[in-house]
Structure 1
Amino acid sequence: MIPLSFIIVDDRELDCFIAEKLIEKADKNSLVKCFYEANSCLEYIKNNEVSTETIILLDIMMPVMTGFDFLEVFERLEWEKKKWYKIVPITTSLNKSEIQRISTYPSVLKVLQKPYSVDALKHIIELATS
């Protein structure tokens, strides 16, 4: 079985570290890559070929390029570039209209509220691989 990959996009190093540890507990075989800026992640996606299911944990509120901005650009990529990716926006917001808006993007699998748990990640893995 090919291991699942995760990309964490979060401007806070501590949040990236915590996410990595939770992913390790949810699926110890997963490969993890971290980006502190959404632009860097988009460049990685545009310039690298992947052939494994990849879950992007995307912080919504980041400086320079927000999660919404990232999704706008991502959705315009060619199918061959984005077909392996499932995006899971991460938010601390309780704003229902914001959560509903982010859920409308075709590449979004599910929105997670911070702080999230190992069980929540296991559920995301099940959704992404079923």
Structure 2
Amino acid sequence: MEKLPHILLVDDDDTTNFLNEHMLRKLNVTDQVQIAHDGREALALLTQPPPYMPTLMLLDVSMPGMDGIEFLEAYMRLPQAQQDATIIVMLTTSMDSSDLARIDELPIKGLVSKPLSREKIDMLLQLHFQRQLPGE
């Protein structure tokens, strides 16, 4: 399988980031994983020159500081070409009904429940990148 060039993990939980990065590398999905601990840190990465354009962003909904929804509102002000370069999938344990109501307005391609698993990664790869993890 052809690897994804860059993946950005945006989550305030270090354990979640460690496990997700480990799984993505172990499954040979990518060699390049960048981590941001909240929306502000992710936005800073994306707006530094030259702009960082991850292929896939796994974005936590609930984070202190700038949460996933607030991040997406700011993200929509980035240049369209930069937005088009990244597939954003939100990761969540649960969502507030007011957040769910806003999902359709946000530039995300999907919503996946935590924890991330081999099956969920395979589904994301097939759905958004026409790739499939090799059989075990």
Q: What is the TM-score when the length of structure 2 is the normalising length?
A: 0.81
SS at match of 1:111: strand
> What is the distance in 2 between the residues matched to 1:29 and 1:37?
22
Residue 119 (structure 1) aligns with: 119
Corresponding residue for residue 90 of structure 2: 89
Post-superposition shift, 1:2?
6.6
Counterparts of 1:64 and 1:74 in 2: how far apart (Å)? 15
Helix, strand or coil at the partner of 2:110: coil
- Checking the alignment, whether the CA contact within 8 Å between 2:39 and 2:71 is kept in structure 1 is yes
**Is this contact kept in 2: 1:6–1:54, CA < 8 A?**
yes
CA contact (8 A) 2:45 2:52 kept: no
Aligned residues: 128
Aligned residues with identical type, % of pairs: 26
Normalising by structure 1, we get a TM-score of 0.84
- 1:17-65 Cα distance to aligned partner (Å, 9 max, x none): 01112212343434211111211111111123356x6111101100010
| Alignment pair present for 1:49 and 2:48 | no
| Alpha-carbon distance in structure 2 between the residues aligned to 1:40 and 1:120 | 26
Closer, same or farther: CA 45–4 of 1 in aligned 2, 3 Å: same
Any conservation in 2 of the 1:99–1:111 contact (CA below 8 Å)? no
